[in-house]
Chain A
Amino acid sequence: MLDAAVPALKSASTTPARARIGIDLVHVARIAESVQAFGDRFTHRLFAAGELRDSMVAGRLDAGQLARRFAAKEAVIKAFDLSESGIGWSQIEMTECAGDAARIRLHGRAAESAARWGTYEIAVTSSHDRGMACAIVVALPGDATNESRLRGDASHEPADAA
């Protein structure tokens, strides 16, 4: 789905792209409450399979990890003004690999909607501590010839589990 959106990224915008930024702050305990109240309906509706895998700590889903990812999704929505685009949260995916930077990958309608602003490289950073999780997304106009996907690379600052 992401690859299918690439042509739109190159042609959707007719005005010069500008830098975009989004931020979100989430109560970790409230994410835990949602998991308890709604179970798989909450986790599977909001998070991609890879995000759920990456959110496992000691064999269990960690609310702090989920909260960081939820904050990142909301930060992307704010950065690209997607609140009226009608997208599923799992179409905004934050991926992390050990020793590598956190990345944002947009799928389907999320990628198409963001592409109306032009082609971007997306940077994301997130952290959680003292019961709160925060994510900041910065998107800079990118060169589609060098960056074939609308994605973000950024450092992830590890934090103590809440």
Chain B
Amino acid sequence: MTDNATLDARIRSVLARHGRLAQDAASLAESADLYQAGLTSHASVNVMLALESTFDVEFPDQMLTRSVFSSVAAIRGALSQLIPA
């Protein structure tokens, strides 16, 4: 499993538990629009807080945008900036 694959699996796990998606988080394409899949603004808050716990990071205010939580790939990109190398 690549690093990205590991990251994606953990992201999808968070989405499955907190995203209240209408689709299976495990089978969503990495670029699939999570809002189209049912993610609400409130659920995105829960996802953000759960991601912080899972990855031991904190999203700064400037990253609290709709686009950061719009897809698995977008979340991965944001986390990549927050997780120490």
Contacts and interface: CB of A to CB of B under 8 A. Distances in A.
A34 B45 contact: yes
Interface string A73-93: 010010000011111110100
Interface residues of A, number: 24
Given A31-B42, A34-B45, A42-B49, A83 B65 contact: yes
A10 interface: no
Contacts of A30: 42-43
B65 A38 contact: no
A34 B62 contact: no
Majority-rule SS of B interface residues: helix
Contact of A26 (B42, B46, B50): B42
Interface string A18-62: 000000101100110010011001100110000000000000000
Q: Report the interface size class on chain B.
A: 10 to 19
Contacts of A85: 65
B80 interface: no
A109 interface: yes
A85 B64 CA distance: 8
A117 interface: no
26 contacts: A24-B41, A26-B42, A27-B42, A30-B42, A31-B42, A34-B45, A34-B46, A34-B49, A37-B49, A38-B46, A38-B49, A41-B49, A41-B52, A42-B45, A45-B45, A74-B41, A83-B65, A83-B66, A84-B65, A84-B66, A86-B62, A86-B65, A89-B45, A89-B64, A109-B61, A109-B62
